[in-house]
Amino acid sequence: MVPIKSIFNFLRIQIKQSEDKIVLAKKKVADVIVESLIAAGVKRVYGISGDSLNGITDSIREHNKDISWIHVRHEESAAFAAGSEAHLTGNLAVCAGSCGPGNTHLVNGLYDCYRSRVPVLAIAAHIPIREIGSAYFQETHPELLFRECSQYCELVSHPEQVPRVLEIAMRTAISLCGVAIVILPGDVALQEAVSSRPFISFKQSKATIRPSKKEITRLAEALNSAQKVTILGGAGCDGAHSELVQVAGLLQAPIVHAMRGKEFIEYDNPYDVGMTGLLGFSSGYHAMMDSDLLLMLGTDFPYQQFYPPRAYIIQVDIRGEQIGRRTKVDLGLVGDVRETLVAVKPLLNRKSDKGHLRASLDHYKKSRKDLDSYAVGEPGRTPIHPQYVAKIINDVAADDAIFTCDVGTPTLWAARYLKMNGRRRLLGSFSHGSMANALPQAIGAQQVYPKRQVICLSGDGGFSMLMGDFLSLKQLKLPVKIIIFNNGALSFVELEMKAAGLLTFGTSLIDTDFSKLADAAGILGLRAEKPEQVEQMLNQALEHNGPALVDVIVNPQELLIPPSINLEQIRGFTLYMIKAVLNGRGDEIVDLAKTNLFR
């Protein structure tokens, strides 16, 4: 006879298995995806709701203690915001778009994430699986659409693919610091899950990548034999500040930085001589041109005309495919910047000749003095110099402020007047070069760091392009501070036209009082029209407990002088001035002269 206890145990097991089946039957594919995101440490998903995303958004609603839905006004903003979060934290960030136009809007922001190499996962909802290929309402081909801006892009066509496809996507984004896309038809998201197992937590291994001993020896020999070494550093110098400064001291080498390297290199650096490139200083340009050896560290600086034509060039980069694609390279080394510097440092001889370094530092001091001389605001003298606005922003901002800047003149002023200190952060669309990036990046930054100052430097053109998400600041209760450099034009584009000998055309913007738009949205709006108003209004905005906007009327005729001007640019600008006079626009030349010659 079977014991009664054994029968009860058997029945209890059967009941438990039946309950598990019932629970599993109720769990949908969308639930497994959301639970997997939570298991991976994802705290929020940026996006706009849509019927094809209903499964995902409803599951987020049910799991709202562990994950949030960040409702923005445009999917492009969602992608930029996710990229900002990933940049600041180094962790996986997520955005989502509904089928057709919804996920198509993600593309530009994801391109920026892809080119900035930050780990972002995008959930691209799709039309019903049975309708694919029928020219259905809102049908696109996301696999083709996202191919150029992602490292991984796959369609989930059956519940059995989840969570496996999602795991692969997340691991790809984390491992490659890139973009992964999961295309999810709305009907598949609502189907019963085949597996209830969520994502198994994955941590990227901290592998050490450094050149071989033989390559390190060659590197040391080249550096020891050179007379005038200059270092060009980029974003790859993140985490290598101490080693970089120590090696520069041994080599008596000035350090030039690219835009993406600014926040990691320029602070507490006695060898810093500024930037080069279109946004840079003449001191950075000449420090590179006067060198006999250029050491490139973690940079993919794109402008070939700013590289020294006769120097011996060494490039160190974690990605071998980047070596030699901008300029000829005499010695290319694949490795982490910090690990490479640690390995080569004991083999370096301390140089005694400080001539090249001293000349570069002297040039930098002069360049810095010249730039600072433009950052003045005389009471009553209008229009306001944008350099002065940027300087005051730098002075009044917190020591741990996070800055975002639009492409164009805001990036220029940020490059030249914002000072990094190892705690401040600086974000922009520095590789992709998209307009309208600053506001959505500020949204992502403030979501991650709600108690830190987040200051958005926007142009009137960039701000108005994604202005709908200005309303998101109010809805999301984000105390972002927006400073608009309002010059009534796409001024960087105008400069490019003038340098090419063209009359400016299609660049003017209607005069807009953005402070009144802010007031209408229930956000603090201020407008500075005189220099003496700038500091007071910036302080008022920063002290305000909530989002704020300061609309500053700045001079549209500032010439953005690059560190090197070639003959073609001189000819182009001369041609522009002749055309302006002949076409009855001589007043533009007078304004240019007043602004840039008679300050």
* Catalytic residue from among 75, 263, 535, 588: 75
- Mark whether 492 is an active-site residue: yes
The answer to whether residue 75 is catalytic is yes
Alpha helices in 281-347, H assignment, sequence order = 282-289, 337-344
Burial state string for 217-251 with b = 16 or more CB within 10 A and e = fewer than 16: ebbbebbeebebbbbbbbbbbbebbebbbebbebb
Read off the DSSP letter of residue 467.
G
Strands 293-297 and 229-233: parallel
Q: Name residue 545's amino acid.
A: N
Q: Which residues contact 32 (CB under 8 A, 6 or more apart)?
A: 162, 163, 166, 193, 195, 196, 197, 198
Per DSSP, helices labelled H in 96-151 are: 101-104, 107-116, 142-145
CB 153 within 8 A of CB 125: no
Q: Which of 138, 441, 446, 557 is catalytic?
A: 138
Distance set, CA 15 to CA 117, 196, 347 (Å): 50, 19, 71
Nearest Cα residue to 293 out of 239, 247, 339 = 247
How far apart (Å, rounded) are the C-alpha atoms in residues 597 and 492? 19
Determine the Cα–Cα distance for residues 490 and 488; give it in Å rounded to an integer: 7
Encoded tokens for 100: 């057709």
Name the 3-class secondary structure at 207. Answer: coil
- State how far the alpha carbon of 405 is from the alpha carbons of 276, 415, 442, 443, 457, in Å: 19, 10, 9, 13, 5
Residue 231 DSSP symbol = E
Report how far apart, in Å, the C-alpha atoms of 462 and of each of 441, 456, 581 are.
13, 11, 30
Q: Give how far the C-alpha of residue 160 lies from the chain's centroid of Cα atoms, to the nearest Å.
A: 36
Residue 163 preceded by cis peptide, ω within 30 = yes
Q: What are phi and psi of 297, to 5 degrees?
A: -125, 110
Is residue 17 among the annotated active site residues? no
485 is catalytic: no
A 10 A CB-CB count for 189 gives 27
Task: Please indicate whether residue 403 is annotated as part of the active site.
Answer: no
For residue 225, list its beta bridge partners.
Answer: none
Give me the catalytic one of 301, 492, 514, 573.
492
Tokens encoding 109:
């922001």
How big is the chain by its Cα radius of gyration, in Å? 27
Residues annotated as part of the active site: 75, 137-138, 407, 492
